[in-house]
Amino acid sequence: MEENFFEQELRKLFENSETLGDPRFTGRVCVARLTDTTNVKLSFVTLGSADTYVGVEAKVFNRNDGPIDTAIFRFVDILGRKAIPGNPNFKEGVSPHFWRSNGKYEWYAYKPSPGDFERLAAAIDSYLEIFQAPVQAQDIHQQMR
């Protein structure tokens, strides 16, 4: 089955994450394990404009007891406004986002680089580490050194 735009972009962010255990990508979400009883659901969010996706929402939940926490990571907060050289319509740059145009989803004016995806993933991973058992988080930091 061919991946949709959402799955492709979620994979760029989370497929190689050391924080997420057994990430699963389907439709417009990524669901992964943080601990034996804690999972996270990651998806893109619109924040008020239909079909204009401006960030990633992380919903952390206990499989038995339900919701624990939710956080939204706006692309512009992590990546900043991006210059569009030679385009007089964006003198102040553009807030990174993707949208639906002519029936398909695509990044608007600025397409994030692999480094941008790494920065986004690192910010979200840093938040998610809070919900891991202290030993797991400590092991991950020791492995990264």
Which residues, other chains included, contact 106 with Cβ-Cβ below 8 Å and sequence gap of 6+? 5, 98, 99
Domain boundaries, the chain: 5-144
Element (H, E) at 14: helix 5-14
| Structure-model confidence comparison of residues 2 and 23, the more confident one | 23
| Per-residue pLDDT, 137 | 47
Q: Identify the three-state secondary structure at position 13.
A: helix
**Model confidence at 144: pLDDT above 60:** no
Query: Hey, which bits of 63-102 come out as E strands?
Result: 66-74, 98-101
- What would the pLDDT profile of 13-28 be if each residue is shown by its tens digit? 999 999 999 999 999 9
The C-alpha atoms of residue 136 and residue 10 are separated, in whole angstroms, by: 23
> What are the pLDDT digits (tens) for 87-142?
888 989 999 999 999 999 999 999 999 999 999 999 999 999 999 977 554 555 55
For residues 31 and 85, which has the higher predicted lDDT (pLDDT)?
31
Whether 1 shows a pLDDT value over 50: the answer reads no
Q: Per-residue pLDDT tens for 35-88?
A: 999 999 999 999 999 999 999 999 999 999 999 999 999 999 999 999 998 888
